[in-house]
Amino acid sequence: MKKVAVILSGSGVFDGSEIHESVLALHAIEKQGATWHCYAPNKNQANVVDHLTGDVMEDQSRNILVESARIARGNVKDLEELDIEEYDALLVPGGFGAAKNFTDFANSGSECSIDPLIASVCRSFSVAKKPAGYVCIAPVIIPMIYDKGVKGTLGTHPEMIQAFTELGGEHVECSVGEVAFDQEHKVLSTPSYMLAENITQAASGIEKLVQTLVEIA
């Protein structure tokens, strides 16, 4: 049975992993007959957002690993414990946590940097020629991991396309139900809530991505 490592960035679209995308991805992995195992960095989030108002809660701090446990029902480990030899593929759901906690893309755009641990883990899958899938805004990570010219998608948003290109990637415009597949690097991406207007639309691209991810693992 194939095993997929899933890296979470917290719990909630505005400051962590997008919950719908994360659950849809985990469900899709099981539907393909594979198993999922969640990991998250054991450090504080960049900020905490009130998901009712959208305001930053300046007086609060939350741990990414602790918050990710909400999505994984406690079945999550410190990212430092991930052993790539145990896994066949990698999946990173979206949510602003990917652009705030894994990188500082949300603030710095194409001038952003990436968390060293995230970079190390993602690159280890690349070096081992094991496939990886990135969802929604998480594909901003792709050009920071793979060779210049690596293909990926952030949907159809002009500013996002420009940033992806400036980071060194070759952007592929995709509709919500489509998947960009760079066969040379074995990396997949789909827009999901970069374009999705509901859960069903988000699921369409995620399920296609996961199906291919598991097939080539």
CATH of the domain at 176: 3.40.50.880
Q: Coil, helix or strand for 187? A: strand
Range of the domain at 79: 3-216
Amino acid at 188: L
H-helix or E-strand spanning residue 7: strand 3-7
The per-residue pLDDT string of the chain (217 residues; one tens digit each, 9 = 90 and over) reads 999 999 999 999 999 999 999 999 999 999 999 999 999 999 999 999 999 999 999 999 999 999 999 999 999 999 999 999 999 999 999 999 999 999 999 999 999 999 999 999 999 999 999 999 999 999 999 999 999 999 999 999 899 999 999 999 999 999 999 999 999 999 999 999 999 999 999 999 999 999 999 999 9
CB count within 10 Å of CB 116 equals 8
Beta-strand runs (E) in 143-184: 151-152, 170-171, 180-182
Place of tokens 């080539």: 216
Q: What are phi and psi of 134, to 5 degrees?
A: -125, 135
Domain count along the chain: 1
Amino acid at 87: Y
Alpha-carbon span 48 to 187, nearest angstrom: 30
Alpha-carbon span 86 to 3, nearest angstrom: 8
Instruction: Let me know if 43 is exposed, middle or buried by CB neighbors in 10 A (0-12, 13-18, 19+).
Output: middle
Catalytic amino acids?
A: 136
* pTM of the complete model beyond 0.95: yes
